[in-house]
Chain A
């Protein structure tokens, strides 16, 4: 059973202890990874997630990953870290290298959902876009609106988003209600809106390589 988004945001997800490989992931990816596991029958993988709220506190990620790897490494044959760089400025990569574990390639989830190669190409021209994934659309208030103080001070919108032009909703699944919510997020930020279906992008192909 998948915990609520609020639980994934604050607490993450506990491992079940079943499977040879442990996926150590961001809580914002839990639903997507569970969906992929189920669809592909990847029973050799177990999943544990760190609190998704680290997305807005990236300096906490390397230390939390280190602690989780050290906690779980004796219980699994292998651990795979389902984070990209995620704003750690290369620190997560060096932490993983030191711990001897692999991680997802790329700068962040927006990139690997889009496909890292394609994202690198479009980022040359698309750097005035603000991206949201399915999870971030659902958790817009908890990850963007409230932490940025926009619930209390909407006058700050221009300071934060004045240089952005559009909000791109990277849809992992087709869901009309989520699309409408994403459109509403764009409206609240005063940005143009674009929905782009990415599916799971490089996340699926990366995890598929973790053979039994």
Chain B
């Protein structure tokens, strides 16, 4: 870090400069700086939802784009996500209080036999950032966990994640059970994970395969909006 950068005092920046600086700090995975930036914007009277979308999600969108383009790699994305998590931790209770707009609701979990949750956690965070309420079932979920959550949480979307070639077929077990119970078409089913691809998503009967967190958010928005339009029609 250069001497000039060390001298930046966040509270002395105007709003626009501060948001730009927060983009840089997210990119560099600087959690404490992000937490400080969030607090400054809140003190200046920003609505929590605006801090979330304009500063944090805006910054993570750049991170996501550079990850997709091969400029950033997984460790840097994780550091950025960790920094965003710090900001989200401050904003979450305030968002609940201030009644931020809710785009939809998602139940998400890693499938049975699989303990990998980095991608799932990124999706959860970006979905929350986009205004979705997310119920995260964690890792190693048998079909019963998904079904119970669908019944109790009544989400718009079911998200399933798997990192292993050996566990990804379990997604089909969940979808087939939903079909058997006649509830498949009540939900938008999105799947993701490193070894998956679009063809696999189609083959198991998912609505879409999402290759990364940003695509998951865009796909979720599109499907939810389509669903609402159908209901309205």
Which residues in A have some Cβ–Cβ distance to B below 8 Å?
A: 58, 85, 87-91, 107-108, 111, 120, 123-124, 127-128, 147-150, 152-153, 156, 159-160, 163-164
Q: Is B117 on the interface with A (CB-CB < 8 A)?
A: yes
Q: Are A153 and B75 in contact (CB under 8 A)?
A: yes
Question: C-beta contact mask, B55-84 vs A, less than 8 Å → 1, else 0?
Answer: 000000000000000000111101100100
Whole-angstrom CA separation of A88 from B199 in the bound complex: 13
Whole-angstrom CA separation of A91 from B195 in the bound complex: 9
Pick from A89, A108, A153: contact of B79, CB under 8 Å: A153
Known A89-B165, A149-B73, A163-B139: A124·B78 in contact at CB below 8 Å: no
Q: Is B168 on the interface with A (CB-CB < 8 A)?
A: yes
Between A and B, 15 residue pairs with Cβ closer than 8 Å are A88-B195, A89-B168, A89-B194, A107-B165, A111-B166, A120-B166, A149-B74, A149-B76, A149-B78, A153-B29, A153-B75, A153-B79, A156-B78, A159-B118, A160-B118
Q: Is B11 on the interface with A (CB-CB < 8 A)?
A: no
Q: Is B115 on the interface with A (CB-CB < 8 A)?
A: yes
Known A87-B195, A107-B166, A123-B166: A156·B75 in contact at CB below 8 Å: yes
Closest-by-CB residue of A relative to B116 is A163
How many of chain B's residues touch chain A, expressed as a range?
20 to 34
Further pairs besides A88-B165, A156-B79: 11, Cβ < 8 Å? A58-B194, A85-B195, A87-B194, A88-B195, A91-B197, A123-B113, A124-B113, A149-B76, A153-B29, A153-B79, A163-B115
Q: Are B165 and A149 in contact (CB under 8 A)?
A: no
Whole-angstrom CA separation of A108 from B195 in the bound complex: 12
Task: Please give the distance in Å from A77's CB to the nearest CB on chain B.
Answer: 30
Find chain B residues with CB under 8 A from A90 CB: 165, 200
Find chain B residues with CB under 8 A from A147 CB: 73
Q: Is B114 on the interface with A (CB-CB < 8 A)?
A: yes
Whole-angstrom CA separation of A189 from B167 in the bound complex: 24
Q: Are B79 and A163 in contact (CB under 8 A)?
A: no
Which of B194, B195, B196 has the most chain A CB atoms closer than 10 A to its own CB? B195
Task: Please give the distance in Å from A187's CB to the nearest CB on chain B.
Answer: 20
Q: Compute the total of residue contacts between A and B using a CB distance below 8 Å.
A: 61
Find chain A residues with CB under 8 A from B116 CB: 163
Q: Are B113 and A89 in contact (CB under 8 A)?
A: no
Main secondary structure of the interface of B (DSSP, over half): loop
Closest-by-CB residue of A relative to B163 is A87
Find chain A residues with CB under 8 A from B117 CB: 163
Whole-angstrom CA separation of A160 from B82 in the bound complex: 12
Find chain B residues with CB under 8 A from A108 CB: 165
Find chain A residues with CB under 8 A from B200 CB: 89-90
Pick from B78, B114, B164: contact of A159, CB under 8 Å: B78
Q: Are A58 and B74 in contact (CB under 8 A)?
A: no
Whole-angstrom CA separation of A88 from B168 in the bound complex: 12
Whole-angstrom CA separation of A147 from B195 in the bound complex: 18
Which of B73, B75, B118, B140 has the most chain A CB atoms closer than 10 A to its own CB? B75
Known A89-B197, A149-B73, A156-B78: A164·B115 in contact at CB below 8 Å: yes
Which of B79, B113, B115, B194 has the most chain A CB atoms closer than 10 A to its own CB? B115
Find chain B residues with CB under 8 A from A120 CB: 166
Q: Are A127 and B74 in contact (CB under 8 A)?
A: no
Whole-angstrom CA separation of A125 from B192 in the bound complex: 23
Closest-by-CB residue of B relative to A56 is B74
Find chain B residues with CB under 8 A from A160 CB: 78, 118
Whole-angstrom CA separation of A141 from B83 in the bound complex: 26
Q: B205-222: which residues lie under 8 A (CB-CB) from chain A?
A: none
Find chain B residues with CB under 8 A from A148 CB: 74-75
Find chain A residues with CB under 8 A from B194 CB: 58, 87, 89
Closest-by-CB residue of A relative to B167 is A127
Question: C-beta contact mask, B112-144 vs A, less than 8 Å → 1, else 0?
Answer: 011111100000000000000000000110000
Closest-by-CB residue of A relative to B162 is A89
Whole-angstrom CA separation of A196 from B42 in the bound complex: 55
Whole-angstrom CA separation of A124 from B114 in the bound complex: 10
Pick from A111, A127, A163: contact of B113, CB under 8 Å: A127
